[in-house]
Amino acid sequence: MLNNKLTSAALLACVVTLFSCTKEPLNNLTQEESRIYVTNADTTINFSAFKTYSISDSVVVLDNGQSYKDLQPSDQSYIDAVNKYMQERGYTKVTRSANPDIGIDVNRIYNTSTGYYSYDDYWDYYGGYWDPYYWGYGGYGYYVPTFFGIYQVTEGAMSVDMLDLKNASEKGKIEVIWNGLIRGEGIFNASIAEGSVKALFDQSTYLHSN
């Protein structure tokens, strides 16, 4: 018969082994696997009705409730990648003063404080940092369809927004027609910008001008 000490040791070993052998999901992800690519679109929109676009030449950094414009190498890589894939889909880049059909903003979002940053808040502040005057529609407000998702951004994200400038005068507002969001490890690295933007376009097959 085994003595009590041996039994206790066996039980202890069992308990220790039991809790040490759990496979932790986050420890089994590569940086690439940690990233998610989220798109929202107004599917009532016929994207082939738009032919031209203009993209901002810098990004807005939204950092714990404060915003400012910036252009780091990674930001430029994101802007370049959006240009590349918009043109691959048949859209023509024009200057902001040439009445583009689509306006594109790129945003870098941080939140290092407690709590979370919701996408609702993001849009609440939107007009504050992308002034409608920027797109030549002073006095207009932005409109985000209610079906757009609400994200909890807890560490950082890159966001790309497409705005309907073609119909802004008729509708009396600048409507957001597409949004792409990139989250996860390493997203502020210039080397992953193109692949990330490609992922957003790959899952948005309806984005084409013809």
Partner 1 sequence: MKALKSLLFAIFIFSAAQLHAQRGVVNMSLQYNYALPLGSFKTDVISKGSPRGFTGDILYGVSDKFSVGLGLGFQDFYEKYPRALYNTGDKEVTSAVLSNSVQIIPLLAKAEFSPLGSAAPVQPYITAGAGLGVSSFTQYLGEFGGTDNAGGLMLQGGAGIKVPFGKYSKAGFRLGANYNMVSYHHDGFSNFNNLSFQGGIYFPLK
Residues that bind partner 1 (CB under 8 A): 1-2, 4, 7, 10-11, 14, 17-19, 21-26, 28-29, 33-43, 147-149, 183-185, 199, 202-204
Run of H or E including 150: none
Choice between 4 and 46, CB closer to partner 1? 4
CB of 139 to partner 1, least distance (A): 28
Q: Pick from 79, 49, 24, 27: which is nearest to 197 by CA?
A: 79
- As a whole number of angstroms, the distance between CA 77 and CA 136 comes to 26
Q: Which residues on neighbouring strands pair with residue 70, listed in sequence order?
A: 59
Integer CA distances (angstroms), 26 to 33, 86, 110, 116, 154, in order:
10, 34, 21, 20, 16
Of 39 and 76, which has the nearer Cβ to partner 1?
39
Please state, in angstroms and rounded to a whole number, the distance separating the CA atoms of residues 134 and 142. 12
| Residue (43 or 189) nearer to partner 1, CB | 43
Judging by DSSP bridges, how do beta strands 141-143 and 102-110 pair with one another? unpaired
The residue among 29 and 98 lying less far from partner 1, judged by its C-beta, is: 29
